[in-house]
Chains A and B, each alone.
Chain A
Amino acid sequence: MTIKMNFKTFAAAGALLVGTMAFGAAQAAESLTVVSWGGAYTKSQVEAYHKPFTKKTGIEIKSENYNGGLAEIKAQVEAKNVTWDIVDLELSDVVRGCDEGLLEKIDLSKLPAGSDGKAAKDDFLPGTLHDCAVATIVWTTIYAYDSSKFKGAKPTTIADFFDIKKFPGKRGLRKNPKVTLEFALMADGVAPGDVYKTLATKAGQDRALKVLDTIKGSTVWWEAGAQPPQLLADGEVVMTTAYNGRIFNAAAAEGKPFEIVWDGQVWDLDLWGIPKGAKNKKAAMDFLVFSTTTEQLAAQASWISYGPARKSSIPKIGSYATKPDMKMGPHMPTAPANFKKALQNSPSFWADYQDELNQKFNAWLTK
């Protein structure tokens, strides 16, 4: 009696299993897996790229999140099972991924001219087109503080972030040597132009870690871009490094009292890259072309404060999507007032020193 019942259950479960597997396979055919960084940033892409693209082509988009790096792409390429079709990458990962053959080559001639008629290669900002990727935005790592926690003087310089006496309270930092070490050196008085030269030497690396030592005891480490605004909002930290768009979003959309300090910002590009052997390569390329047109790039900038990679998009940047009276221009990392002391993240430096500095940084964390 009991045995029979069990067999029935088994059979039913088996049928369910086979059914779902078949269903899963059929579904994969007309969809595109787009991978990005999650939270407010992904939302801006969904609004400006995904939704119009689906409307135009009927191709459904599956959105997945990751925390940067090439690990998943490498795993998929080496396992010959590439399930990601197009990925939002940092420049240093594009350089390395292209070298190692993890990314498809992009036919840049397919990119349309800007809305002002200028050819794509002239319309895109210098350095934003790559053999294996096309940039969408200029973003930056800044630090932000909760203004309700500082009644008197407010932090204004990158050095203030590391000044625990003048501005007491916990700090949030990305658990990664990238950008963290640059901040430390600039806070210690190294000019932006000399940062990578200094960081290539042992003395420079020790100098950066020594600056970090001063706040090590009161640091909360974050990994995902969505965490810093959360840490500020929960009161776990009083100031934290963050991607500028995330802080903008928390302040503009959720009305949080967060202020950005632009001094010493380290800016970078985000680019679309297609993993080698992507299952829907053609659709991915269509999506890439569609999302990097003048209009779409300008549309994204009204959802989050990242600067578009095309010159022709810049005059088209309007107001914040949900607040028509809020101009986006002054919130861009490239706005002249914000860009006074800025450093471009060096992909070639990090390609070389990533492993060594990861080891040192992890060893320092463990101590």
Chain B
Amino acid sequence: MTNAANAIAGLETADGTPLKAALARALRRKRMRAVLLVMPLFIFVFLTFLYPIGLMLFRSIDNPLVSEHMPRTVAALKDWTADDLPGEAAFAALTQDLEDARKSGAAGRLATNLNYQTGGLRSTITRTARQAGKLEAPFKEKLIEISPAWGNIETWATIKLLSDRFSMVQYAAALDRKYDIHQNVVPLPEDQQIYVTLFMRTLWMSIVVTVSCLLLGFPIAYMLASLPLKHSNLLMILVLLPFWTSLLVRTTSWIVLLQTQGVLNDLMVFFHIINDAGRVQLIFNATGTVIAMTQILLPFMVLPLYSVMKTISPTYMRAAQSLGAHRFLAYGRVYLPQTLPGIGAGCLLVFILAIGYYITPALVGGQDGQMISNMIAFHMQKSLNWGLAAALGGILLVGVIILYWVYNKIVGVERLKLG
């Protein structure tokens, strides 16, 4: 080995450069060519995918409004300890800041921003901003007269909390926590806790979907793998067809099938399994979401299972059985362990796709089938609390990235099968 290396080191090419260097250069050039081919897509993905996601994550910690539009108040509250109301200087600073904010048109946005943190502050801010220009010193009593909220320590603590441009306020909210007046993280009152429950439910529903996919996918993958190819190809089409059919079409068909006045309930009434008054609620709840998601994600389980099972030689099973093992024992001890890579790949993939699901729960989830993506959409589109949406998205993203990393480690992303 060493001799061979030394021998190469001694060799030279026709133009006199050492062979080792020439080879290294050739390799570098080849590498360069490979990288150049990948670069256009990499740059494209970076610009239109990675950077935007980074931009979203930035929003989850960025809170510029208060520091930008209330500089005087922020300065006045710098050493305030929240044990008592701040002094007249802070009230004067606030009056001037709000007057400027009204002039620049930022008062409304400021009000919204503070209101996300403490309900009721919106009208306090807008009302005060409207009158701030007409006020004269001393301000303290006049402000409290305009809105009693200025007499609460909590109001001032909210301003102080948001006065840092970068903070974890949104992440605290995304985990059902908040900062109290002394800036300690405390749990929200129980009747306002929602996101942790929702994350847990998202995990739980994804696990149920994954297990259902495995239980349903295993037998048919086995059948596909053990049939001769010309038969299995026909059955494979049944697996692949849903894969190619629009998600919205499949969701629509589940609504048609499962709604209380739908096909399945009609059939059950027709066969007297239930009476007309006892129709079962199968959709617009968690059950319906799990059923629909299982069907939609099943192909992602069957394909990796099938490709692993295809490589398992039937001779092992025959050997085990001829050595006297019962058929079931042979399955459990010999066949099943060999399918583990396929099970791992399928389960991980289904689980990763399931925890980010949005469309199906939104359409058939009703009230208890909603997942975390739906709450992100709610804050993006309805409440307009984009910072909180970004924080919830950030937490979900970390979960997905960890799972994806695991998938990449143990399965390898290049083994992903699409048919």
Contacts and interface: CB of A to CB of B under 8 A. Distances in A.
Q: Do chains A and B touch in the complex (CB under 8 A)?
A: yes
Interface of A: 69-72, 74-75, 96, 98-101, 175, 200, 206, 209, 219-221, 234-236, 348, 351-360, 362-367
A168 to B, nearest CB: 10
Nearest to A95: B126
- Main secondary structure on B side of the interface with A: helix
Contacts of A364: 191
Interface residues of B, number: 37
Contacts of B123: 348, 351-352
A69 B382 contact: yes
B161 to A, nearest CB: 16
B109 A100 contact: yes
A363 B192 contact: yes
Nearest to A236: B260
A353 B120 contact: yes
Contacts, number: 87
A221 B108 contact: no
B382 A352 contact: no
A221 B385 CA distance: 23
A353 B381 contact: no
B192 A221 contact: no
Interface string B52-79: 0000000000000000000000000000
Contact of A235 (B121, B261, B367): B261
B261 A236 contact: yes
A101 B108 contact: yes
B163 interface: no
Contacts of A220: 284, 366
A358 B191 CA distance: 12
Contacts of B126: 99
A40 B412 CA distance: 54
B105 A366 contact: no
B112 interface: yes
A359 B192 contact: yes
9 contacts: A72-B381, A99-B111, A221-B366, A234-B259, A236-B260, A355-B116, A355-B385, A356-B119, A356-B120
Contact of B384 (A70, A200, A353, A366): A70
B109 A366 contact: no
Contacts of A219: 367
A96 to B, nearest CB: 7
Identify the 3 closest CB pairs spanning chains A and B, nearest first.
A356-B119, A99-B108, A100-B108
Contacts of A101: 105, 108-109
A234 B262 CA distance: 10
Contacts of A366: 194, 197-198, 201, 367-368, 370
Contact of B115 (A72, A209, A355, A362): A355
Given A221-B367, A355-B119, 20 more contacts: A71-B382, A99-B126, A100-B109, A100-B112, A101-B105, A209-B191, A234-B259, A235-B260, A352-B120, A355-B383, A355-B385, A358-B382, A358-B383, A359-B192, A359-B194, A360-B192, A362-B378, A364-B191, A365-B367, A366-B370
B116 to A, nearest CB: 5
Nearest to A74: B384
A16 to B, nearest CB: 22
Contacts of A352: 115, 119-123
Contacts of A235: 260-261
Contacts of B105: 101
Contacts of B198: 366
A111 to B, nearest CB: 24
Contacts of A236: 259-261
A234 B120 CA distance: 40
A165 B284 CA distance: 24
A71 to B, nearest CB: 5
Nearest to A218: B281
B385 A71 contact: no
A3 to B, nearest CB: 19
B295 interface: no
Contacts of B115: 352, 355
A355 B107 CA distance: 18
B112 A362 contact: no
Interface string B311-348: 00000000000000000000000000000000000000
A142 B367 CA distance: 22
B362 to A, nearest CB: 10
B63 to A, nearest CB: 15
Residue among B121, B123, B201, B284 with most chain A CB within 10 A: B123
B287 interface: no
A363 B189 CA distance: 11
Contacts of B193: 363
Nearest to A234: B261
Contacts of A358: 382-383
Contacts of B380: 71
Interface centre among A100, A206, A221, A354, by most chain B C-beta atoms within 10 angstroms, is A100
Interface string B357-395: 000000000111010000100101111110000000000
A191 B261 CA distance: 39
Nearest to A358: B383
Contacts of B120: 200, 352-353, 356
A74 B379 CA distance: 13
A96 B384 CA distance: 12
Contacts of A360: 191-192
A99 B107 contact: yes
Nearest to A348: B123
A206 to B, nearest CB: 7
A71 B379 CA distance: 9
Contacts of B108: 96, 98-101
A364 B385 CA distance: 19
A236 B258 CA distance: 13
Nearest to B111: A99
Contacts of A363: 191-194, 197
A363 B126 CA distance: 28
Nearest to B126: A99
Contacts of B382: 69, 71, 358
Nearest to B378: A362
